[in-house]
Amino acid sequence: MKILHTSDWHLGQNFMGKSREGEHKAFLSWLLEVIKDKKIRILLVSGDIFDTGTPPNYALELYYNFLKQLSAVKTLKTTIITAGNHDSVSTLKASKQLLETFNVHVVVNGDEDENIIIPIKEDEGTIAIVCAVPFLRDNVIRQSLAGETVSDKEKLANNGIKAFYETAHTKALELKQDKNIPLIAMGHLTTVGSRTSESERDIYIGGTLDIGGDYLGSLFDYVALGHLHINQTVGCEHVRYSGSPIPLSFSESKNTQKVNLVTFNESKVEVEELAVPLTRKLIVIKGNSETIKKELKNIEDKNSWIEVHIKDDNPMYANTEIRELASKLELILLAVKIDKSEKQLQAKELKAISLDELSIDEVFQKRLEQEELEDKVLEVELVTNFKQIVSKVQSQ
């Protein structure tokens, strides 16, 4: 029996003002072919289907069209999709019941109303049981610790998540009885000992979970994890992150994007990592003006997205020169960062040069400084109001 494990698609991602539609489209058509070729029986998508709670319409269209195409693949029995921290519960929930008719199970928050234990059935009976655990939100974690008072937030997350998995495991065992079939779990969290990249958010308050891959591995025959964008094993061979299918930040430009092909023979599990073809390269160039200019001239694929880190004694001048050269070469330069040397940091006259390296708050602060306001109370009020607006916009 073959299972395909993927996660962190982040459909609809806005990358420094650019759309990833083409890359996602290419990935989904490739994935569809793999599912057909390899005769996949179960597809698992472990969270972060969409990049935001309110995905753009083209992203929803990609999602639905892909699921419609899957429904025509006879060898595929079941698709299970769980929500990640980026997904909105209500967005995924809206089509949940409709998708059930296509054998697509969507698990949005794992609360008491939702069935997360999914038996995979074939003519000859149940062939596997999947505990489809989504990203566990605070209210669900509390439910799994009924009766206990946990004040410490970090402890709450740890104990609650473990309790959640243990309850799921017990229920799955009851269903399994004495059949020799694999128990599979999904999850969307950071486990102890895993490697992270820049574009994942810390999702639990306190940040550090004390849940290791070996702990989950002791309960299940395979654990399909999402949230971290780098393909990796954690603690043991059968507890894995698939990673994202396209690089989601410049810090991920050197990774190879993969999906996991999981094969069960009897109850023996084997995993093959399949590399996803890259449709757009992200390139990071670091160095002084001369090095960067030389490397820019060597870029053949004009479709690439580029970030440069300038480390130069005259960064203002280098910045202008590099931008001019990139535009002359018709390259897509998305960000310029200035790596300041010790000397420059001491030199007071060097102010912030590039918008790319300022936070939203810093930009507002700089703008305020230009006003030279005398009323300090007003200034504080303006900053507070600005921050409120920003957080409102970001939470949408």
Tokens of 40: 């996949």
How many residues touch Mn ion (CB under 5 A)?
4
Minimum distance between the CB of residue 188 and Mn ion, rounded to whole angstroms? 6
Tokens of 373: 């306001």
* Of 319, 316, 391, 304, nearest in space to 18 by CA: 304
Minimum distance between the CB of residue 228 and Mn ion, rounded to whole angstroms? 8
Tell me the residue number closest to Mn ion, measured at CB.
Answer: 227
Task: Give the residue with the Cβ less far from Mn ion, 182 or 187.
Answer: 187
Which residue of 52, 85, 194, 232 would you call a contact of Mn ion, by CB under 5 A? Answer: 85
Euclidean distance between the first and the last CA atom of the chain, given in angstroms as a whole number = 41
| DSSP bridge partners of 333 | 306
Torsion angles phi and psi, residue 333, rounded to 5: -95, 110
Consecutive H or E run containing 328: helix 315-328
The answer to whether 252 contacts Mn ion (rule: CB under 5 A) is: no
Minimum distance between the CB of residue 310 and Mn ion, rounded to whole angstroms? 31
Q: Binding string to Mn ion for residues 37 to 56, with x set by CB under 5 A, is what?
A: -----------x--------
**Region of 81-89, 152-160, 261-269, 317-325 interacting with Mn ion (CB under 5 A):** 81-89
Minimum distance between the CB of residue 45 and Mn ion, rounded to whole angstroms? 12
The answer to whether 10 contacts Mn ion (rule: CB under 5 A) is: no
Whole-angstrom distance, CA of residue 354 vs CA of residue 136: 38
| Distance (Å) of CA 140 to CA 44, 53, 103, 108, 247 | 22, 19, 25, 11, 31
Per CB under 5 A, which of residues 207..236 are in contact with Mn ion?
Answer: 227
Minimum distance between the CB of residue 87 and Mn ion, rounded to whole angstroms? 9
The answer to whether 84 contacts Mn ion (rule: CB under 5 A) is: yes
Tokens of 198: 């820049």
Task: Give the residue with the Cβ less far from Mn ion, 158 or 244.
Answer: 244
Task: Give the residue with the Cβ less far from Mn ion, 48 or 221.
Answer: 48
**What's the number of CA atoms in the CB half-sphere (13 Å) around residue 304?**
20
* Of 172, 297, 188, 161, nearest in space to 244 by CA: 188
Task: Give the residue with the Cβ less far from Mn ion, 48 or 312.
Answer: 48
Torsion angles phi and psi, residue 130, rounded to 5: -110, 125
The number of beta carbons lying within 10 Å of the beta carbon of residue 19 is 14
Per CB under 5 A, which of residues 286..325 are in contact with Mn ion?
Answer: none
**Region of 71-79, 80-88, 245-253, 306-314 interacting with Mn ion (CB under 5 A):** 80-88
Minimum distance between the CB of residue 189 and Mn ion, rounded to whole angstroms? 9
Q: Which residues here bind Mn ion, judged by CB under 5 A?
A: 48, 84-85, 227
